Structure 1
């Protein structure tokens, strides 16, 4: 593989990545002194069978060594949980954390979705570690999602019921379209 002719400017690269709208999650896990968490927007599905998801955790994060190879829960946040997202990103004052215990790891009460995972694999992702978790339990509630776009939190509204849905599941296409 050939290398680029000039190195990428890290600030420009980060800014370009910020143009991809994503949901906001808090990864929760059991630390040595109780439940802990960190805000993560690098989260996606990997496999339906077995049910696998991934999160990307910065190696410099204080949580990195505590969450690798441990059970964890990915809590998909609602817009009214923006203060939690900021708290677990280290950019807000203390807030009351609505913890409760899942099967193997702590969860955040009121999250839109909770994917509780057992560790599956960990991969090198440069300055991040890519954690694959096998989903062992999930909880889904109603509401809108909290998003992140261009360095700002945004609400992601549920579709209006009268809007047409796709006549197929785009994740089940047998070929590249």
Structure 2
């Protein structure tokens, strides 16, 4: 177990926060060159009134410019969509492992566990990330098992008896 140190190690901090299991999403958005997407596990609900969600985006990613003042869709992946997560994480397959479907505010990933379509609300400085808040305009979910991310690996939900 690591103790609190005066000079905190970035890698060890990443290992520490990796102990928090998260769902896996693909954020999609459209600009003049087409629909783009990236895999993200830094996603959360922020407010019910108004309905707001937050996505944290690394400043070094190409997706940053696509999301600026733009609509976006949060696609929550199922446990069977690991290849889709990897495709949008920069390891694309020759044949895309997903299909698009049209939503009210843009393209979404077909057969995802849930989707949330958003209009831009605000963005904030988050250090080496930018925090994008979106106002929810449309959403849908279904029953199924989510794809999780834990300690740097994909994981699944285990049922507790």
Distance 1:13 1:32 in 2: 38
The residue number in structure 1 matching 2:81 is 81
The residue number in structure 2 matching 1:135 is 136
Aligned residues: 157
Q: Does 1:123 align with 2:124?
A: yes
Stretches of structure 2 that go unaligned for 5 or more consecutive residues are none
Distance 2:55 2:6 in 1: 29
Stretches of structure 1 that go unaligned for 5 or more consecutive residues are 164-177
* Equivalent position SS for 2:122: strand
Correspondence list, 1:81-100, <5 A = 81-94=81-94, 95-100=96-101
Structure with max Cα Rg = 1
> Relative contact order (alpha carbons < 8 A, sep ≥ 6): 1 or 2 greater?
2
Q: Which TM-score applies when normalising by structure 1?
A: 0.83
Distance 1:7 1:34 in 2: 44
Distance 1:19 1:5 in 2: 19
Distance 2:153 2:129 in 1: 22
- Cα displacement (A) at 1:99: 0.9
Distance 2:84 2:13 in 1: 27
- Cα displacement (A) at 1:91: 2.9
Distance 1:35 1:68 in 2: 14
Give per-residue Cα distances to partners, 1:75-120, cap 9 Å, x unaligned.
1100111100011011343424311121112111101010000000
Change (3 A) 1:151 1:92: farther
Contact 2:123 2:132 in 1 (8 A): yes
RMSD value over aligned CA atoms? 1.8
Give per-residue Cα distances to partners, 1:105-150, cap 9 Å, x unaligned.
2111101010000000000000000000010000111211000001
The residue number in structure 2 matching 1:37 is 37
Distance 2:118 2:45 in 1: 12
Change (3 A) 1:103 1:34: same
* Equivalent position SS for 2:81: helix
The residue number in structure 2 matching 1:25 is 25
